[in-house]
Amino acid sequence: MLFNSFDFLVFFLFVVGTYFALPHRFRWFLLLVASYFFYGYWEPGYLLIILFSTIIDFFLGRAIHFSTVKSRKRIFLYLSLLSNLSILFFFKYFNFFLENVTPIVHAVNPDYKFKMLEILLPVGISFYTFQTLSYSIDIYNGKIKQPEKKFGVFALFVSFFPQLVAGPIERASNLLPQFHKQVRFDFNRIQSGITLMLWGLFKKIVIADRLALIVNEIYNNPTEYHGYTLVIGTLFFAVQIYCDFSGYSDIAIGIARVLGFDFMKNFRTPYFSKSIGEFWNRWHISLSTWFRDYLYIPLGGNRVIKWRWYYNLFITFLISGLWHGAEWTFVIWGAFHGALLILETLVKFEKKTHLIRILLNFKTFFLVCVGWVFFRANSLEDASYIFRELFNFNNYSLDQLSFYVIPVAKNTVFSVDFFLAYLGILILMILEYLFLEKYKFFKLPYVLRTTMYVSVIVLILVIGAFGKNEFIYFQF
């Protein structure tokens, strides 16, 4: 079930209405049933996997807590890590492993053949696996003083439908206690949550899905394009993935807010960053802090000698890239960001004048876009072609540029899509400033806010690209 579908609208209205009609003691059960229904709506078989992971971590979490011997605690933790990562490896990386082992095996025995498994990747498996892993690790490290007593409440923590399939990746210390708190109907909170949901839908349907029409055409057929077309395709993808993923996060946080729950913020205008390090403090915050707390710091963080610090940075981002997908393009994307972070530790600007800050903004955005080529390209061959063409300056012409400057005047197939894409990006820049950068939206006069609500709804209905497009991060 997609947030941007009529099915979800009906589901959401039913759940919210029933939720506030029920006494507090029954609400967790309603949310658990709703979450399992939401997840099983794609494929009922997925429920067996998430249920298995839930059972394993519920009982192992209690075993870790109640064990008095340190070595036994460690064994239970390793069992949790092994079981969760084995599930993730099998469904997400097994065929990737076979593809890369096959050439080695053929070198020894040319007649031996691996048979690829027809595995259907469960939606959101990387997200809820990391969420349950953090629970076990936090109990082991003493960050959670008491494990959850009720299996049903813990199952809700793992499967809570707003953030189940694409985050934010919540910590048990933040989310679990909220299931035990009594929530009262609060009009201002509900209004705030619906506003955030509306903004997320706008970013997804009006901007991301509109840009996807152009980006998919260019990146799925890269050899047919060159010059400014590839530049525009890459820039549009940068905006598309931001609006798609942050749009999902906004909707998820908004749904949770309506129901009385607080999720962590997942994006803070990342393209205004002045460094790659700052970018990762503002992009997919729940994942970057997860890797920081559960991989980078346990490896030693920056409290080690320099070469080891660089290794910790690089390996963290290498694994982060692999987390995103079982493709070499994602591995290279992660390695690219790891290398950039190492370079930033070597080259620093002491005096940051206004001009230098602007230049650093452009530099960071440029480097992030370079990385997005690997992230979006369908293969290493496609990425290689795109890079060759991007930096082949003989491919650039004023006539080609004029199409993108005044697309409607050119009267081509893409004219309307380009015009609407530019319009959506302009509205994004204005409203993003109001929503996130200065937080002034709710201080605006009521009439003006109502006008903006109506305008956004009209824009969604009139220029939204409706096609029930999945969110990009569903594949991870």
Q: In terms of Cα–Cα distance, which of 456, 426, 462 is closest to 195? A: 456
Q: What is the DSSP string of 397-453?
A: -HHHHHHHHSHHHH--TTHHHHHHHHHHHHHHHHHHIIIIIS--GGGS-HHHHHHHH
Whole-angstrom distance, CA of residue 186 vs CA of residue 24: 15
In the numeric block, which tokens belong to residue 268?
Answer: 């803070």
Query: 3-class SS at 167?
Result: coil
Q: In terms of Cα–Cα distance, which of 324, 20, 16, 294 is closest to 162? A: 16
Whole-angstrom distance, CA of residue 408 vs CA of residue 388: 29
Which DSSP state fits 90? I
Which residues, at least 6 apart from 340, have a Cβ–Cβ distance to it below 8 Å? 276, 367
Whole-angstrom distance, CA of residue 288 vs CA of residue 296: 10
Place of tokens 């981002």: 317
Name the burial class of residue 441, with classes exposed (0-12), middle (13-18) and buried (19+) by CB atoms within 10 angstroms of its CB.
middle
Per the residue annotation, which of 65, 324, 337, 354 is the catalytic one? 324
- b (16+ CB within 10 A) / e for 144-178: beebbeeebbbbbbbbbbbbbbbbbbbbbeebbeb
327: Cα separation from own chain's centroid: 17
Place of tokens 């409203």: 431
Which residues, at least 6 apart from 116, have a Cβ–Cβ distance to it below 8 Å? 95, 98, 99
The residue length of the chain stands at 476
Report H helices in 292-353: 297-299, 306-324, 328-346
Task: Give, in order, the Cα–Cα distances in Å from 3 to each of 46, 248, 273, 332.
Answer: 18, 8, 29, 31
Task: For residue 324, indicate whether it is catalytic.
Answer: yes
Query: 3-class SS at 220?
Result: helix
Whole-angstrom distance, CA of residue 401 vs CA of residue 396: 8
User: Catalytic amino acids?
Assistant: 324
